[in-house]
Amino acid sequence: MNVLIMGCGRVGARLAKLLAAAGHEVTVLDVNANAFARLGSEFTGTTLLGNGIDMDVLRRAGIERADAFVAATQGDNRNIMASQIAQKIFRVPRVVTRIYDPIRSDTFAELGLHAISPTVLGANAFYEALTGNQPSPPPS
Amino acid sequence: MYIIVAGGGKVGFYLGRELLAQGHEVLLIEKDPRRADMIQNELGNVVMVGMADEAAILEEAGAARADVICAVTGDDEDNLVISQVARKRFRVPRAIARINNPKNEEIFRLLGIDEVVSSTDLILAALEQEIPSETLVPLLRLRHADVEIVEAIIGPGSPLVGTALRDLRLPEQSNIAVIIREGNPIFPNPATTLRAGDEVIAMTRSNLEEQLRRLFFSQAAV
């Protein structure tokens, strides 16, 4: 699978390495060239400097050939905007978005984005580690 | 009208002030508490501290009964999300978004936000009025008769250079009154040919202006 990842932070870089090691074709996009250091010297994918909410940058990053798009920058709204561009304009078959804010995550999940909220996942993991139980649905 | 202004920067502040002066009910949402305080001192009790892209804040702001939301923060992605949450979650009838990167106008439109204001584009448009080579310059309008007198300058690369007026496909209710060539007026006849730099003064019905513009400035003119 051909995967385009926007945001080379800890999560983006780790995901890029996992996918590349599994034989997938990976391109990583970030606005900060220093971020690519996280990928290490063994990384076999492609890196590209640029902003993922710019359609020209996304084209240059090969979004038209991508099977999947991941938005994993620090900014929820930037992730949401880029993911919608990928999904609705470039018709990338599989789009996954990191959204920290659980409420916003719900809103855009309702609007058709596949949203992953590290806040919810993290809190649930802590809850489980502490109590040994799965948390019941959180109060909104 | 009840209008929510998201973003209390300079644009939001002056927009809020004008809307209040016009008698509208206004709520300004600003994330920075100090900035919000400052606005409150100037405009009164019309400010709420918070991030307007959060559904909980919009709910508290009464977005469900708002007539319009204006998303005017400095970040295009924030303005997009604010507009989308307001339109889709709270069914606000109108969302007007400020954009900074003119390229985002198309993205916003494709993502369902039709009303955008780009100061970059406005300045570009103002500049283009100073560069008449690609536009008809309106000289005079005879309102009572619905006649417009306009000027078009024939650029050096125009496909019309060397074309005789008789071969020009002018719209029916329009004609070329005079051509200014190197500062001198020429009262043309059908055999007169156009040259680069000619200032063509034409008279036309107001509703044919667009046809005329295309005739002078699109590549498929003749």
Given a cut of 80, whether residue B129 has pLDDT beyond it is no
Query: Best residue in B77, B87, B101 to probe A by mutation, most A CBs within 10 Å?
Result: B77
> Residues A20-24: what's their mean pLDDT?
96
Chain A residues with CB inside 8 Å of B78's CB? 77
Residue B221: the pLDDT is 40
* CATH 3.40.50.720 in chain B, residue ranges: 2-125
Q: Which CATH number fits domain B2-125: 1.20.1630.10, 3.40.50.720, 3.90.1170.50, 2.40.40.20?
A: 3.40.50.720
Query: Best residue in A80, A89, A95 to probe B by mutation, most B CBs within 10 Å?
Result: A80
Chain B residues with CB inside 8 Å of A53's CB? 76-77, 104, 107
Taking only the tens place, the pLDDT of each residue in A28-77 is 999 999 999 999 999 999 999 999 999 999 999 999 999 999 999 999 99
Output the pTM of the full model.
Answer: 0.71
Size of interface A-B (CB pairs under 8 A): 53
Taking only the tens place, the pLDDT of each residue in A73-117 is 999 999 999 999 999 999 999 999 999 988 888 889 888 899 999
Residue predicted with more confidence, A68 or B143: A68
Residue A138: the pLDDT is 62
d(CA B149, CA A110) in angstroms, rounded, equals 54
Residue A106: the pLDDT is 85
Chain A residues with CB inside 8 Å of B111's CB? 81, 84-85, 88-89
CA distance B169 to chain A (A): 39
B91 in A contact zone (CB under 8 Å) = no
A80 in B contact zone (CB under 8 Å) = yes
Label the pairing between strands B174-181 and B25-30.
Answer: unpaired
Question: Residues with Cβ < 8 Å from A127, sequence gap 6 or more?
Answer: A133, A134, A135
d(CA B208, CA B57) in angstroms, rounded, equals 50
* CATH 3.30.70.1450 in chain B, residue ranges: 132-217
Work out the pLDDT band at B158, boundaries 50, 70, 90.
confident
Chain B residues with CB inside 8 Å of A80's CB? 77, 80-81
Structural contact between residues B53 and B78, judged by C-beta atoms closer than 8 angstroms: yes
Work out the pLDDT band at B134, boundaries 50, 70, 90.
low
Question: Which residues numbered 20-49 in A keep a CB inside 8 Å of some CB on B?
Answer: none
Q: Which residue of A has its CA nearest to B59?
A: A103
Chain B residues with CB inside 8 Å of A56's CB? 103
Please state, in angstroms and as integers, the Cα–Cα distance from residue B18 to each residue in B3, B67, B74, following that order: 12, 17, 19
Of B2-6, B9-13, B110-114, B136-140, where does mean pLDDT reach its minimum? B136-140
Question: Residues with Cβ < 8 Å from B30, sequence gap 6 or more?
Answer: B7, B8, B12, B36, B39, B47, B48, B49, B50
Question: Which residues numbered 131-190 in B keep a CB inside 8 Å of some CB on A?
Answer: none
Work out the pLDDT band at B222, boundaries 50, 70, 90.
very low
Work out the pLDDT band at B97, boundaries 50, 70, 90.
very high
State the fold for domain B132-217: Alpha-Beta Plaits (3.30.70)
Residue B127: the pLDDT is 75
CA distance A110 to chain B (A): 9
- Number of neighbouring beta carbons within 10 Å of residue A20: 19
Taking only the tens place, the pLDDT of each residue in B163-211 is 999 998 888 889 999 999 988 999 999 999 999 889 999 999 988 888 8
Chain A residues with CB inside 8 Å of B81's CB? 76-77, 80-81, 104
Radius of gyration of chain A (CA): 16
Domains and CATH numbers, chain A: 2-131 (3.40.50.720)
- Number of neighbouring beta carbons within 10 Å of residue B82: 31
Please state, in angstroms and as integers, the Cα–Cα distance from residue B14 to each residue in A15, A50, B20, B21, B98, following that order: 45, 34, 10, 10, 14
Per-residue exposure over B9-27, b if at least 16 CB sit within 10 Å of its own CB, e if not: bebbbebbbebbeeeeebb
Given a cut of 80, whether residue B126 has pLDDT beyond it is no
